[in-house]
Structure 1
């Protein structure tokens, strides 16, 4: 059996050096993990209005959107390109209890610089009172193809183009926006003006 005198000696300086190296490696690993968590914390990020009131451009692969109206935390958010309206609303904390959920198309892709307004039930996006259910007006922002097809000068093909425009551009701001829909001219707009609303 070897006695204690036979054990190899380790200089104290070497022991401290190894311990310090282990501590440095652990700290570096911790910093790397924290940076990774911050970077992958989700596809959304609230923009601080005080720090950046008008960002020049979203980073590559991302878009800025302004979410307003009946959401828990209205504001400007950064989303991944290809994000849906559902992602923007989730980033803003979700719908409030009085939100008109049927008035928004959650599957629609959002675009950079867009403002998304979730209306309160019973109001238009601009805050006015929506027409009563029995007034006979067709709401361009909530009507389906069947409702649009009942309008004069609007058949199934035009109804589909109205829905496609709404899908691509968001809500109609006014009845005059119908002129932006392919196949609708001044004459058709005049026929529709007192039969539709936004």
Structure 2
């Protein structure tokens, strides 16, 4: 080789050669990108499948069985707008009351209510009082007693004594001394919460009452005290 040959510049590539080189590089880049996308798709599918198989079950919210009771405003016809804590059909046990609601109500018959319910709750559970019902003849705030009957009369209706729930400040119906709670006994005239607890304590320690006069054995109850509520209790 001649000395000057090594210093000669290489010939410039033609336009065709440059185009071929560009297209080759573009194809190589596109191929590598497709491979990367495919790998990402495979990995994403694998991770998604693993998460579906191992994801924790969704939390389930449990509804509380409590149902609020709303106060009755003056003039309220005792309709069905207020929620009443009604026991499920077929329920039984000491926490459930079964009472018979009759008279001027939408759906007279047996109703099941939770223990501690009042006459107002029974009337509402029976669909509410009808137009023309004399709800003032009842003591709507009185506690209910299991196995009793609440009769809602119409205005001007003459009802035999003993049929209506009591309309005064005492309980709606006669209380069973062997099943009444402290709260129910507290509604009796002349009996406060302290004496009510004494009555229940005597019953639990000495056994069930055999007659109403057995209350005279309870500390704090004398003949005059018993006379205040004798007609409102039973055994």
The normalised TM-score by structure 2 is 0.41
